[in-house]
């Protein structure tokens, strides 16, 4: 065996050992309990069409109702996915919508429309592995029309 062949063999062995060892470093995949009365469905006037879009395109990252697919058990992919979910929940958690004050809710509603219009959401890294999560122009219109009406409702409601 040539020197290059031996080096390649050792490098491959080291990479394999590191991948196996990485499987023992497991961040928590959680779906924290949430008070149902705080969810966006109970705090806002969410139409069935909007709820359907949330279910297929938003809730896996932006709620406590994450569906954890098989690949979230395999490091280092699991680290990436769990980190994204935790960051997304911190940014906006639809399961804890009622914890935000009205001004923050109105701001988040505006952000929702802007992010789906710009194509920032759902993430391009999410849609290939989640068929049906990519938003159509009709979905974007439904979300933006809803966020506009919900912002108006919040602005008109007594404090």
Residue pair 146/47 in contact by the 8 Å Cβ criterion: yes
Q: What does the pLDDT profile of the chain (159 residues) look like in tens digits? A: 788 777 777 777 677 766 666 566 677 778 999 899 999 999 999 999 999 999 999 999 999 999 999 988 888 888 889 999 999 999 999 999 999 999 999 999 999 999 999 999 999 999 998 989 999 999 999 999 999 999 999 999 887
Residue pair 69/129 in contact by the 8 Å Cβ criterion: yes
Per-residue model confidence (pLDDT) at position 20: 63
Rounded to two decimals, the pTM is 0.85
Instruction: Provide the domain count of the chain.
Output: 1
The torsion defined by the Cα of 43, 36, 88 and 53, in degrees rounded to 10, comes to -70
Taking only the tens place, the pLDDT of each residue in 145-155 is 999 999 999 99
Long-range contacts of 123-129 (CB under 8 A, 24+ apart): 123/61, 123/84, 125/84, 126/60, 126/61, 129/69, 129/71
CB atoms < 10 A from the CB of 130, how many?
15
Q: Residue 61: give the domain boundaries.
A: 3-156
């Amino acid at each position: 065996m040539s020197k290059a062949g031996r080096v390649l063999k050792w490098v491959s062995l080291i990479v394999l050992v590191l991948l196996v060892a990485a499987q023992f470093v497991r961040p928590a995949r959680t779906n924290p309990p949430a008070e149902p009365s705080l969810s966006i469905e109970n705090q806002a006037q969410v139409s069935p069409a909007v709820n359907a879009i949330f279910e297929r395109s938003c809730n896996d990252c932006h709620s406590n109702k994450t569906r954890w697919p098989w690949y979230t058990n395999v490091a280092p992919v699991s680290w990436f996915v769990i980190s994204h979910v935790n960051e997304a929940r911190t940014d906006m958690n639809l399961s804890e919508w009622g914890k935000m004050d009205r001004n923050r809710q109105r701001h988040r509603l505006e952000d929702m429309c802007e992010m789906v219009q710009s194509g920032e959401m759902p993430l391009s890294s999410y849609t290939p592995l989640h068929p049906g999560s990519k938003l159509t122009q009709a979905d974007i219109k439904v979300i933006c029309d809803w966020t506009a009406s919900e912002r108006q409702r919040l602005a008109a409601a007594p404090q």
